[in-house]
Homo-oligomer: A and B are copies of this chain.
Amino acid sequence: MPDSATTPVSFANRAITEPWTTKEPPVTRRGERTRQALVQAARTVFERDGFINSRLSDITTEARCSSGSFYTYFESKEEVLVAVLESMQDDMMHPGIGRLPEGDESIRAVIEASNRAYIEAYRRNARLMMLLEQVATLDPMFAALRLERAQTFAERNSVKIKSLQEAGLADTSLDPRTTSWALSSMISRLAYLGLVLGEPFDWDELVGTITTLWLNALRVPEDRRG
């Protein structure tokens, strides 16, 4: 339910690809290969050194191409970062098999699976998430991107909370939007603390506790939790 890694995210389709990409996409196969190599190299370098501490020359060296070629495909360092973050979205959009419970699973199981999937996706992309946090403080464009991402999930969760309330399964005195933001925030910050800053957590236990806290917070009736 948080920042869910299970569905496409808006900015990958609209906010990024449209207004920020000005270079023509490659037309030849060779060009496509070079562009891909640059994106992959950029991811490697960014994950290793961060955005600020990386140099374009590191990326082109890693991609085994010249610095001039970089500008055939990207306008700037920022733009290749956008492409790298898009590729992260691609990953988060295709969770591993069996991540989501099927059929008439209990509420608890659904929430827990969602939380677990989020943590797993975050783990795979922890360095890039750190990157996103880093550049969000540097460039309003990325701040907007960061916020947009959070908004997407908050809104989605907001709808789900409202459904639960209407089904008599959640505390109706809670404002759905605020509650959604609060619960999403909880897990995204925990992922950041644990997977980026390195606070040691027992992740199985953590997911269980978070799930309980959500159910408690929403006051899902004991006998309907699953």
How many copies of this chain? 4
Query: Complex Cα distance A55/B52, Å?
Result: 15
In the complex, A182 has a CB within 8 A of chain B:
yes
In the complex, A152 has a CB within 8 A of chain B:
no
In the complex, A197 has a CB within 8 A of chain B:
yes
Contact of A147 (CB < 8 Å), options: B50, B131, B150, B197 = B197
Query: Complex Cα distance A209/B119, Å?
Result: 25
Q: Is the CB of A209 within 8 A of B193?
A: no
Q: Is the CB of B209 within 8 A of A171?
A: no
Contact of A183 (CB < 8 Å), options: B179, B186, B198, B201 = B186
| Residues 177 to 207 of chain A near chain B (Cβ within 8 Å) | 178-179, 181-183, 185-190, 193, 196-199, 201-202, 205-206
In the complex, A28 has a CB within 8 A of chain B:
no
Residues of B within 8 A of A212 (CB): 171, 173-174
Q: 9 more A-B contacts (CB under 8 A) besides A50-B137, A181-B190, A216-B218?
A: A134-B134, A171-B212, A171-B216, A175-B205, A178-B201, A178-B202, A178-B209, A182-B186, A183-B186
In the complex, A87 has a CB within 8 A of chain B:
no
Q: Is the CB of B179 within 8 A of A209?
A: yes
Interface size bracket, A side: 35 or more
Q: Is the CB of B151 within 8 A of A199?
A: yes
In the complex, A133 has a CB within 8 A of chain B:
yes
Residues of B within 8 A of A179 (CB): 209, 213
In the complex, A219 has a CB within 8 A of chain B:
yes
Contact of A205 (CB < 8 Å), options: B178, B185, B190, B210 = B178
Contact of A186 (CB < 8 Å), options: B133, B171, B185 = B185
**In the complex, residue of chain B having the shortest beta-carbon distance to the beta carbon of A191:** B185
Contact of A185 (CB < 8 Å), options: B150, B175, B193 = B193
Q: Is the CB of B178 within 8 A of A185?
A: no
Residues of B within 8 A of A217 (CB): 213-214, 216-217
